[in-house]
Each structure stands twice: as structure tokens, then as C-alpha cells.
């Protein structure tokens, strides 16, 4: 059994699913609205499978309003990924800050000679 973070990153690995999430970041949408941009290259059942992967990862929720089934982005699921990545972001920012400081020294010609 995969852990929730593995399921989340696996769901995010596919460009179609990321495009669906980008659309849902604008606001809720029906399955048919979400599928429309992809129907020239894949079937509706294929898009539905992508949505199920996103649901399983906790990234998308579906509700029912009469005949309409709106899908919504669940930002809390992305929070888990952001928290996992945070130490790495801090590390890279510190590395870039050190590189920037070194490049300023080099540009000023103040590099210590060994």
C-alpha cells in the first residue's frame, strides 16, 4: 500500500491531471466542462479515470447538486506536499543566496587568491 504522499505525487505527475487542477483553481466545474479541452485527444471515460486518480489523492472532491456533479479543488491535499517540500525549498534558497554573494565578490574582483 502506498503512503498518501506517494499517491499525491503520482497524481501530480500527469500533465492532464495538472491541467484539470489548474482549471479547478479558477473555480468548480462539471465533469463535462473539465473533459471538454481533452476530448480531441482522449475519451470521456479516460478523463473520468484521471478525475478518479485526483479524487483518490484527495486533490478533487465531487458533490451532487440535482443532475449536476460539480468538482472542486481540495487545497488541503496540496498542503501536505508543500510541507514535505519546505525544507528543500529553504535549502535551495540558502544555496542561491550563497551563490549570489559569491558572484558579487567575483564581479567586484575581490576573490581571495590561493
Residues with Cβ < 8 Å from 71, sequence gap 6 or more?
Answer: 24, 28, 29, 30, 31, 34, 51, 60, 61, 62
Query: In this predicted structure, what is the pLDDT of residue 16?
Result: 97
Residue 113 lies in a domain: no
Q: What is the pLDDT of residues 23-53, one digit of tens each?
A: 999 999 999 999 999 999 999 999 999 999 9
Q: What's the total number of domains in the chain?
A: 1
Average pLDDT over residues 68-86: 88
pTM: 0.75
Average pLDDT over residues 53-77: 88
Residue 8 lies in a domain: yes
Percent of the chain with pLDDT over 70: 94
Cα radius of gyration (the chain)? 21
Cα distance between residue 109 and residue 103, in whole Å: 10
Residue 97 lies in a domain: yes
Residue 92 lies in a domain: yes
Q: Does the pLDDT of residue 106 top 90, yes or no? A: no
Query: In this predicted structure, what is the pLDDT of residue 113?
Result: 59
3-state SS assignment for residue 57 = coil
Residue 50 lies in a domain: yes
Boundaries of domain holding 56? 4-108
Average pLDDT over residues 55-63: 92
Query: In this predicted structure, what is the pLDDT of residue 93?
Result: 83
Task: Kindly report the CATH number assigned to the domain that includes residue 9.
Answer: 1.10.10.10
Residue 54 lies in a domain: yes
Percent of the chain with pLDDT over 90: 51
Alpha helices in 1-114 (DSSP H): 4-12, 15-26, 31-35, 44-56, 75-108
Amino acid at each position: 500500500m502506498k503512503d498518501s504522499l506517494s499517491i499525491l505525487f503520482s497524481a501530480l505527475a500527469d500533465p492532464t491531471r495538472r491541467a484539470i487542477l489548474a482549471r479547478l483553481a479558477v473555480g468548480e466545474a462539471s465533469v463535462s466542462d473539465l473533459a471538454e479541452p481533452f476530448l480531441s485527444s482522449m475519451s470521456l471515460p479516460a478523463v473520468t479515470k484521471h478525475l478518479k486518480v485526483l479524487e483518490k489523492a484527495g486533490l478533487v472532491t465531487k458533490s451532487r447538486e440535482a443532475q449536476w456533479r460539480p468538482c472542486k479543488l481540495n487545497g488541503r491535499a496540496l498542503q501536505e506536499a508543500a510541507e514535505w517540500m519546505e525544507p528543500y525549498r529553504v535549502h535551495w534558497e540558502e544555496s542561491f543566496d550563497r551563490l549570489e554573494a559569491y558572484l558579487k565578490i567575483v564581479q567586484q574582483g575581490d576573490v581571495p587568491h590561493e
